[in-house]
Amino acid sequence: MKISIIGTGYVGLVTGVCLATRGHQVICVDKQEDIVKRINEAQPTIYEPGLDELLEGAVSKRNLLATTSLMDAVKCTEVTIVAVGTPYSEGKIDLSQIKQSVREIGDILKNKDKYHVVCIKSTVVPTTTDTVVKNILEEASGKKAGRFGLAMNPEFLREGKAVEDFMNPDRIVIGAYDKKSFNTVKRIYKDQFKAPIIRVNLRTAEMIKYASNGLLAALISYSNEVASICEETGGIDVKEVLEGVTLDKRFSPRVGDLLINPEMTTYLMAGCGFGGSCFPKDVKALVSFADNRGYSAEMLKSILKINETQPLRLVSRLETAVGGLQGKKVAVLGVAFKPDTDDVRESPALIIIKELLNKMATVVVVDPIAVENADKVIPANASSLCYSSDYKYALQDADAAILATSWPEFSAIPAQEFVMLMKNPVLVDGRRVYDKQAMEAAEVEYIGVGLAEFLP
């Protein structure tokens, strides 16, 4: 099929490259000429494992090209996928990019005789596609829905594994205005992807996305609340607790002698909290949407509150361990919200860094690829904050260290290196990746999330 995609950010570029790899003719649209130029030269504009190779193949086979001309893209394609940003701002999601995009599409459809489907892939709250999007398209095109198609096709991509997730989806959800819209979008996936294709209405498709992310966020915050109770009690290791929970056959069924460990159980793991471009934004947006509908989503609000305070608990425990943080040098290992991405949006590490600075510590932040993005959010300061890609530099003469992102190179740091490099080897394991016994045997003071000594 011939497909145009508006937006070349995380979702748009991954979608375009993967669809082109599966044989579709894809045109990516972006208003920035430098981004268009880079894509046409097979240079990814985002960091995502595996994307560079697929992009190079798609461009070389002429299955994918980028342009600044939305008109040319819409006129020569059958479906336009809208994948622009919907950031959370001023208590709700910002639909300005969605509105502008669909208005421009509608203007073009006014003079296009062939049937064309507009498919929203951006994450939007229920009622957006069948009211806001539909109304703008009808007004701009002078046509009623039905003469053009309308669909909502949410994405379920994990940063760091987005290519894998797109090429091997769990399910394909297509919310459709009518049967013709559904059948057209279904053709994109039918013969190219082995996954259940679920047809629902537009609002249900929008809600599935929010419900999915809300559930995963809930598992993380639940794990961190249990961890906090374990810490306040003492003598309980939350890792052992949650392992005992997830061995329930309703989480991890047995098939014969084989124990199945679904990936869902990895979200039942205590740590610094969740971050990134999806979970915080989407849970906040769903809370706001519910409030506007007259319902107070108390559980979702608690998920956010726990997540906001979790990184602060780590700093508080460190402060107690070292007897105050003023003037102390603290190494923060990792600033990306998770490994295999340079995304620092809503990263728990940023909360940790700000709190350390508030307590007058000197902070050295280390990350393999995300320091440049972090510096844009919290600029380096010669006297109190610096960034590095070398963990040995960060640990040198440090009074303490906090693991905030479980990059493999950080998880593999031997206990002896903490002892040799640091002035005072105190380690807060915010991701529970280190061996407590090995650390303590090397005389590293180990503080783990959800783990505390026996208390009376």
d(C-alpha 166, C-alpha 339), whole Å: 19
Q: What are phi and psi of 5, to 5 degrees?
A: -130, 125
In the annotation, is 278 catalytic?
Answer: yes
Please tell me which residue in 28, 119, 230, 278 is annotated as part of the active site: 278
d(C-alpha 183, C-alpha 293), whole Å: 32
Question: DSSP string covering 130-189, please?
Answer: IIIIHHHHHHHHS--BTTBEEEE------TTSHHHHHHS-S-EEEEESSHHHHHHHHHHH
Amino acid at site 92: K
Do residues 86 and 95 lie in contact, with contact meaning Cβ atoms separated by under 8 Å?
yes
**Residue 410 belongs to what H/E stretch?**
helix 408-411
d(C-alpha 104, C-alpha 107), whole Å: 5
Following CA atoms 175, 181, 182, 186 in sequence, which dihedral angle do they give, to the nearest 10 degrees? -120
d(C-alpha 36, C-alpha 13), whole Å: 11
d(C-alpha 188, C-alpha 26), whole Å: 11
Beta-carbon count within 10 A of 390 CB: 11
d(C-alpha 121, C-alpha 189), whole Å: 14
Axis crossing angle, helix 348-358 with helix 298-322, rounded to the nearest 10: 50
Do residues 14 and 26 lie in contact, with contact meaning Cβ atoms separated by under 8 Å?
no
d(C-alpha 359, C-alpha 430), whole Å: 19
Q: Return the active site residues.
A: 278
